[in-house]
Structure 1
């Protein structure tokens, strides 16, 4: 189907960056769009804290949906091409996840490129997941559900963290949720049909992938490294059950769907849902549209349906 009319109206008025990208200015622009606190979805508690980990002190924001004795936990990694995004810009996503799934959500304020070289951000994400398991009593973790979720580049980190945990023998991650993930940072347009089919006119454009990811790649992230491009990992056996949501009009659509097929071929319980009429970023930017708020409902059903 065509791009959803409400999305199409907004996309038609998006500015097109010209010249070199300025991370500082772009971050400031994103922060300026954040809704005031009074307009955000209310929860039982929202608290800023710090996870003391082997990689250092990692800022986190803890979302508690309701009052209870224990909670399942979901650790959330925001998107932003590895150089954008923050606890503030994705606060509404974390709130919706906590509200719909009924889990305690811990959002990770991981280090960004270009100021922090690869694998700093990935290390922070993995360290916080381990920190949750090690401090379960303080967090009222039920020691049953420990999920990880992320959108776009956050989805990259989800796949990489799940693989790293498996390789380390850390088997406590019960679910992985990837929203329109970036899983192959080799942006050759011939690699996936969606890179050509959705190249122009749907918000994020194929020609913008290389410059937007350049800060990360130039910091030492090698696209041939499975930690950077998780789809290049040879053995996907033993990974946690996965939910992968893709967008019909996303250049990254096909790599996400291929990853889901490869997980199933490796014996992993993997569900892939393509959201019709959507472009990249629909969970973050268009979750207020009922057709796309369903992403949170689908996530909740997946997380409540059991894991390993």
Structure 2
């Protein structure tokens, strides 16, 4: 698919100018440890103010590679029977953490009136594919069993994530459809997801440089996550390449017009629609990849998360 000819949003332009003036290094030019440190340091400089929560709790849960950290967000007290959103952070499967996406999770919890559970999955290259998938599915199974204990409704469990986290959320939804000990999600929220690691798309070429996520950075991420190019065809790496998308949970797919991943996000939405899956597309034509983490300079970040929260509420009211 081809992105439309849109004007770059003024707020997005301010972010790009800020990063240039600050001398922000390109992720793909850094050693992994330094790339992680830069992302951790940059996140609070760009992000929106923290939404107040009634409770934030750090816990650990069992996973194939050992205990993994999670962070629970409860926007208000007395939330018996609330929806639960399992959130997987972005960062190319290599960088990012619960901390880098803290404010995104806060805003999403408040907007949806939901308990958000942010998951710290294993990162590449120390833990390449499919380690992250294994951790995500373990967290999903755990959430299905523990949702009621958390004060949530196990029938109102959503999976969500941005970028690489959107990839993992889409994979979780596919895995749940195919059975096992996974719960059936009420919906999937995919924020500018990477859904085809083996494909070539016009938006990747058009926005290869200069718009935050660059083509070389994406290659750096994928090479570290899945060194074997043949393995990138696996649906657990590229959910767009799954053989069958029928019967999946309703989807909220958010895309940004100046994002190298725009084309595949739009393609995934159309693939789901063609398979009979209810899909809501939230396209932000003038914005760049990662803008949800830039709410300090990009007002649309809060608007977009509020729209995602409203969609969660709509899914639940439609079931009543």
Q: TM-score, normalised by structure 2?
A: 0.88
- Equivalent residue for 1:216, pick from 225, 233, 257: 225
Range with bigger deviation, 115-124 or 283-292: 283-292
The corresponding residue for 1:177 is 189
Three-state SS of the structure 2 residue aligned to 1:144 is: strand
Task: State the Cα deviation string for residues 123-143 of structure 1 (Å, max 9, x = none).
Answer: 111111110111233211223
The corresponding residue for 1:300 is 309
Alpha-carbon distance, 1:34 to partner: 4.8
Task: State the Cα deviation string for residues 114-173 of structure 1 (Å, max 9, x = none).
Answer: 111321111111111110111233211223310010000001001111111111254521
The corresponding residue for 2:283 is 274
Give the RMSD, CA atoms, in angstroms: 2.1
In structure 2, how many angstroms separate the alpha carbons of the residues matched to 1:34 and 1:17? 15
In structure 2, how many angstroms separate the alpha carbons of the residues matched to 1:33 and 1:207? 20
Range with bigger deviation, 228-237 or 15-24: 15-24
Query: Which segments of 5 or more consecutive residues in structure 1 lack a partner in the other structure?
Result: none
Alpha-carbon distance, 1:230 to partner: 0.7
**For this pair of structures, how many residues does the alignment match?**
303
In structure 1, how many angstroms separate the alpha carbons of the residues matched to 2:234 and 2:296? 32
Range with bigger deviation, 82-91 or 22-31: 22-31
Three-state SS of the structure 1 residue aligned to 2:103 is: helix
For 1:1-308, what aligned pairs fall within 5 Å after superposition?
1-12=6-17, 13-14=19-20, 15-17=24-26, 20-35=29-44, 40-53=50-63, 56-68=66-78, 69-168=80-179, 170-186=182-198, 191-218=200-227, 222-286=231-295, 289-306=298-315
Three-state SS of the structure 2 residue aligned to 1:60 is: strand
Three-state SS of the structure 1 residue aligned to 2:233 is: coil
Task: State the Cα deviation string for residues 39-65 of structure 1 (Å, max 9, x = none).
Answer: 632100000001124553221000001
Alpha-carbon distance, 1:220 to partner: 8.6
In structure 2, how many angstroms separate the alpha carbons of the residues matched to 1:242 and 1:42? 27
In structure 1, how many angstroms separate the alpha carbons of the residues matched to 2:58 and 2:50? 16
Relative to structure 1, is the Cα distance of residues 120 and 25 closer, same or farther in structure 2, using a 3 angstrom cutoff? same
In structure 2, how many angstroms separate the alpha carbons of the residues matched to 1:137 and 1:200? 46
Which runs of structure 1 show a deviation greater than 6 angstroms over 4 or more consecutive aligned residues?
none
Query: Which segments of 5 or more consecutive residues in structure 2 lack a partner in the other structure?
Result: 1-5
Q: TM-score, normalised by structure 1?
A: 0.91
Three-state SS of the structure 2 residue aligned to 1:30 is: helix
Alpha-carbon distance, 1:16 to partner: 4.4
Higher relative contact order structure (alpha carbons within 8 Å, sequence separation ≥ 6): 2
Conservation of the 8 A alpha-carbon contact between 1:160 and 1:230: yes
In structure 2, how many angstroms separate the alpha carbons of the residues matched to 1:302 and 1:139? 22
Range with bigger deviation, 14-23 or 198-207: 14-23
Range with bigger deviation, 4-13 or 144-153: 4-13
